[in-house]
Structures are given as C-alpha cells and as structure tokens.
C-alpha cells in the first residue's frame, strides 16, 4: 500500500490540528468571582494566579451577603485568550468558588475606581491643580497651605489621565481602590 503524500496542515479535513492555534495577542478581562466568605479563600484564589505566573492588574474584595457569608472578588487580569479561559476554568473548579463571570465577554459592564491623590504645590500650580480637579469632577477632601488631597471616581482610564496631568503640578502620592465592576442591565 503506497504512503499518502499529504503536506502537514494543508487541509482543514485533517484529523489533527497541525496549525499553530495559540494567540500571542494579550487581552484584559474583568472577572467577578463569588466565593464563600471564610478564612484563606482569598489566599487560595491569589495562589492560583501566582503559582501559574498569571498577572493581576487590579483586585477588589468585599462581602456582599452577610447572612449567606458570600464575598465578591473582582479581578482584572491580562493574558492570551487561552490563558484567560484556563484561569476561568481553574477558578471554577475551586471548592469555595460559587460562580465565575467574565464581565468582558458577557456583555456591557460598568467599571469604576476610586483614587486619592496628594498634590503639593503653591502659586500657579495650586490654582491649576484646582482647575483640573474641577474639570475631572474630583473633590478636594483635604487641604493645607501647601497641598491638596483629591478624591476622584471613574474608569481606570479617567483616573490615569487625572494622575498624568497632576504629575507636573506636584503629585506626591496616589492610593487606588482597584476596579469594582457590575454587568449592565438589559
């Protein structure tokens, strides 16, 4: 019986996928994970990421149901589509995890972040900082003769833009909460 002379990966009808299927394109996804509110759960979830070398861009955790002892972990992570799918599958197999939602894939969602920024300056820089804060709808929550602490709420991109504009005006310190996200209604 003569051997078949077929070039590898030359047909869609091959029994094996011989074409490279791994994407090098990195995507950012927001995951909402509902878990039992008990000691060590957060450490186990974070251990999944660190043990496999996955990156966490943002992390927020809060109890959402006092009677049911349930917490919501919102994680913003970056990876290839295959890595994101692997993260979701591994999170879903963990015992204290009830649900895993990929808000990026499931449809439209609302993402907000809170940040506090301390800006030091006098004279024109101080006036310019107040003017920019007004444009960005940031509030001055503390003021001294040579500094302000501004509070801003918005998308991570809005917080980044405000911080970038405050740097030349004397931004000294910034504290960010991380992203809180919910899927939008129909």
User: In this structure, what CATH number is given to the domain that contains residue 97?
Assistant: 3.30.70.260
Query: pLDDT tens-digit profile of 105-142?
Result: 999 999 999 999 999 999 999 999 999 999 999 999 99
**DSSP helix/strand/coil, 3:** coil
Residues of the chain with pLDDT under 70: 1-23
User: Both 114 and 176 in a single domain?
Assistant: yes
Report pLDDT for 2.
64
Q: Regarding beta strands 97-102 and 139-143, do their DSSP bridges make them parallel or antiparallel, or are they unpaired?
A: unpaired
Distances (CA, A) of 65 to 36, 69, 137, 164, 183: 10, 6, 32, 37, 18
Whether the full predicted model's pTM is greater than 0.75, yes or no, is yes
* Mean of pLDDT over the chain: 90
The size of the chain, in residues, is: 186
| Residue 51 to residue 28: CA distance in whole angstroms | 19
CATH value at residue 138: 3.30.70.1150
Report pLDDT for 16.
52
Report pLDDT for 9.
53
Phi, psi of 172 (to 5 degrees): -105, -40
User: Element (H or E) spanning 124, and its range?
Assistant: helix 124-135
> Smallest Cα–Cα separation from 104: which of 82, 76, 79?
76
User: Both 86 and 142 in a single domain?
Assistant: no
**DSSP helix/strand/coil, 152:** strand
Report pLDDT for 185.
83
Report pLDDT for 127.
96
37 within some domain? yes
- Residues spanned by the domain of 41: 27-102
Report pLDDT for 125.
96
User: Both 70 and 137 in a single domain?
Assistant: no
**DSSP helix/strand/coil, 15:** coil
CB environment 64-85: b (16+ within 10 A), e (fewer):
eeeeeebbbbbbbbebeeebbe
């Amino acid at each position: 019986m003569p051997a078949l002379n077929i070039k590898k990966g030359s047909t869609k009808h091959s029994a094996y996928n011989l074409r490279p299927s791994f994407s090098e394109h990195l995507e950012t996804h927001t995951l909402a994970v509902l878990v039992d509110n008990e000691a060590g759960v957060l450490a186990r979830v974070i251990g999944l990421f660190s043990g496999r070398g996955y990156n966490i861009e943002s992390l927020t955790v809060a109890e959402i149901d006092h009677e049911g002892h349930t917490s919501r972990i919102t994680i913003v992570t970056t990876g290839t589509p295959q890595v994101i799918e692997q993260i979701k599958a591994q999170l879903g197999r963990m015992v204290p995890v009830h649900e895993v939602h990929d808000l990026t894939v499931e449809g439209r969602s609302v993402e907000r972040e809170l940040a506090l920024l301390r800006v030091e300056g006098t004279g024109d820089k101080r006036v310019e900082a107040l003017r920019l804060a007004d444009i960005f709808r940031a509030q001055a929550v503390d003021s001294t003769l040579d500094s302000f602490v501004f509070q801003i709420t918005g998308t991570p991109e809005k917080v980044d833009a405000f911080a970038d504009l405050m740097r030349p005006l004397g931004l000294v310190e910034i504290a960010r909460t991380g992203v809180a996200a919910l899927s939008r209604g129909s």
